[in-house]
A and B are shown apart, each in its own frame.
Chain A
């Protein structure tokens, strides 16, 4: 039944997919509760510029995407301090990154298949270098989330009281946005730039209405995301579907099942 796991590319896809699912779904709980759900989408589009630059100038595209994404994350924080509304700041960088990407593509005389694989994800394209990057940075990011879990929780619930109690709120906010930038770039290989934000937003949005405690929400969000990756990848293999799209459709199905459960059974 699990014979697809004997292929190297499927093993890589599963490993990368599950790590990314954990990462994005945990970050997602913090972002969704802080009304920053669109940050992931914004940063993904910004990294498009980095991917295009990487392909055009011959760098490893995920690294240039990472640079774009992290710099934009810092820029968004900076604009927020200069009293620009944070959703406006995200929208601005979003267009900025896309514009750079489009201009660079026009310089390279049009789209190529490689760029397409970054836009929509491609598990066949996940190579050994990608896996190493995803495991190294993904594990590091998860550890950082675990180490600062209690502070992120406090800030998410009540930023002013967290600040009054002596927690370095500004530095931790910057850290959370950088962790998001990393998670987004790591995810785009599997789900693609266009679908990254679903990994951040949907598991958290599915978990939050049915959980009583914060710990439960984190665990449920991680579980929903991981299960969706496994089911989505299996469906993609057996029915020859695009993996990113299949995973996202499973996530959406989980979300609507939760709504139906709340409406008809939990009442």
Chain B
């Protein structure tokens, strides 16, 4: 039985063959018809990834700079948070966010809804933020100490040195790792499906559930993989390009 299905599935990829023979619509036609639904589902993945990455960048910047703070308790706390969540599986963090956070927040007596998608963004962002934190720490530490010294001798405060002199030089160094991380965030967004957020995997599941056709599993999920590939591969190429370009002293 299993071996028979394995034999049939690849054939289903070819237009107008296999399942189409018994009168059902061919796989390629269904994929074509479902493309708008899949695209709108994928849009949700993109939105989640962008929002999670923005949040992760802000959190990660704060915690990453915290790892270099002169204030020892704050520095240790940031170090611990970074390494704790860098080693936490994103799905576990996601479940924590889903199950432990309330469905609404009360701020100054106003009830704000806290929908599942927002929790999912937070869940993904936490894991990503821990990675951003390390990227920031590494980049800041790669700036030659002479930059700090000359800034100090000119009277810049530590805060001014970080924001005006060190971080602007770091941006370029951080970009490849940051983009790499973003691609990871994108391919992690289907995790949100498991915790009930309606994204491209849920869309595919619903479309398949209406058909009850095993021969569609491979084409549909293969099609999803292509979507992710088409979105992430250019990011990877661009990252490689940025990495290979020697970092000049010009911005």
**A and B from one assembly?**
no
User: B residues within 8 Å of A by Cβ?
Assistant: none
User: A residues within 8 Å of B by Cβ?
Assistant: none
